[in-house]
Amino acid sequence: MDLIVKNGNILTMEEANTKAEALAVQFGRISKIGKTAEIERLATSTSAVIDLRGQTVLPGFIDTHNHFCLFALLIDQVDCRPTAGCLTGVDVIETLRARAARTPPGKWVMGWGYAPYLLDDRMEIHRADLDRASTEHPICLVHVSVHEAVFNSRGLEELGITEDTPDPPGGKILRDSGRIPNGVLSESAFMGPLFFDTPSIYSEVMAEYDCDERVEMMIRCAARFHRLGIVGAHDPFVDAPTLHTYQAAAKSGRFPFRVYAYILNKWADPLVAAGIQRGFGSDWIKVGAIKVFLDGGMSSRTAAVFEPYVVEGGGTGILNYDQDGINQEIERFDRAGYQISVHAQGDRALDLLLRAFERVMTKGNPLRHHIVHAGNLAPNQIEQVRSLGVNIVSQANFFSLLGDGFIEAFGPRRSQELYRFRTFLERGIRLALSSDCPVADPNPLIGLRDAVRRKTPSERDIGVSESITVEQALALYTREAAYISFEEADRGTIEEGKLADFIVLDKDPSAVPPAEIPGCQVKMTVLNGKIVFED
């Protein structure tokens, strides 16, 4: 045997909740599981033997909605989150000013992680504020939701946005009382320039790195996730250059990380024309679902809802497609045999989406189509999801980051009906948890805690009747996560014959008070039978 792990508390995460003490690994897969005494007998003179002394083993965490490549780039940019020291609007501006001073004039300065409700002074940052950081550099300050951004005057000039520029379909250019753009762009008004235009801001910033530097960026990001016990992610925003970078990283032999790459529907025509189907690739980099953005985000008040938001200005959000449009997109990719992943948050968007799914899903859900987020599903819509067999990928860690913003947007009553995880599981709906990094911290232990506690940053309850158990939440980051990508035969549980992707924690998350779960330490991450992180 290549590796023997003994004297542990092994939580296999099989549906029967079986436990074991030891396991043996050979050729990158789990060869045997059982009692310490029987596994020890399998050791040879060349076996590596790890004595866990009672520590806990779990399958490696799989993040089913993680903008890995974008996060890898952003952590090289300007972190404007409170956790990075930006507690007020002035802090954000000064941090951007400091980066601009080190950046050649004319080059983009990109900040991320900002939201007014996360700041102590709740400052709404606009164009004029960012002009104080620099007028020689275009500045893009990305909202924590990644559904909105603020630009300075030079940035708006680079985008060609003036007072005469109309709102694009599915987007909004916010303006002051004199109809002059105030720098805030929402949804397609921001996502087009950032991601979809040629060239895009994203491509321009990424082009400042050569191929080797981009690969190193991916390797650094993977190492960061290994420390959190994450062995793989579903990246929902992969274009051709990003896929090439992933492949180059895997080819380097220094990127032990499993990526399930989602291709945006706007970029999918060459994939369909070439006949490249889901699952194409290797054990490390696979083509996954087709991604569709239907509406906005709840924290940016752009998710499409029936009942207006209760905050000042209200509104019912933004839709990127009408009923005919989303029908066409769902039918096009379903008929071509592709798995479809649709970002839909508000009940108005979910209503359109479920109608579109009903038209094509007449024989269950063999392609495992799923809804990402599904935060505002109404009771009748939950029943539709159950009857259709649609899967859900959602985020518990939003509660401790964005929960106060949800209550502010939806009010004290409606906010208690968001993200109904317990109801989903009781109705037999397949659910997986994720982080939506960089929107939220990628640490799965935070997601575990928040799925159980459902507390906002100010410690207010948010739908505690929808709390789930630690054991249920663990399954949603492991067994159920593997199901979403058709990999349940190889990953997600600790079973003989499966890939040896597992982690060691100093404590059992199910045996500590829920508030203390993030305090559990990842002591080791093993991927394909090899130790990729050890504390």
Residues 6+ apart with CB under 8 A from 427: 382, 383, 385, 386
**pLDDT for res 71:** 95
CA pseudo-torsion sign 442, 443, 449, 452 = positive
- pLDDT tens digits along 81-129: 999 999 999 999 999 999 999 999 999 999 999 999 899 999 999 999 9
Place of tokens 């649709």: 342
CATH of 85-206, picked from 3.40.47.10, 3.40.120.10, 3.20.20.70, 3.10.310.70, is: 3.10.310.70
* Contact by Cβ (8 Å): 19, 10: yes
Residues 6+ apart with CB under 8 A from 93: 125, 129, 130, 132, 133
Place of tokens 């506690």: 453
* Contact by Cβ (8 Å): 402, 371: no
**pLDDT for res 197:** 86
User: Model confidence at 50, in pLDDT bands (50, 70, 90)?
Assistant: very high
Q: Hey, what amino acid is at 33?
A: I
CA distance 405 to 373: 16
Topology annotation, domain 3-54: Urease, subunit C; domain 1 (2.30.40)
Greatest extent of the chain over all pairs of C-alpha atoms, in Å? 79
Q: Hey, what amino acid is at 261?
A: A
Asked if omega into 438 is within 30° of 0 (cis), the reply is yes
> Residue ranges of the domains in the chain?
3-54, 85-206, 211-525
Place of tokens 């924290």: 299
Q: What are phi and psi of 531, to 5 degrees?
A: -75, 120
**pLDDT for res 147:** 87
CA pseudo-torsion sign 284, 287, 289, 292 = positive
Q: What are phi and psi of 189, to 5 degrees?
A: -65, -30
Q: Does domain 211-525 have CATH number 3.40.50.1820?
A: no
Tell me which of 256-265, 294-303, 390-399 is least confident. 294-303
User: Model confidence at 356, in pLDDT bands (50, 70, 90)?
Assistant: very high
CA distance 533 to 522: 9
CA distance 183 to 38: 66
Backbone Cα Rg of the chain: 23
Q: What is the mean pLDDT of residues 233-245?
A: 94
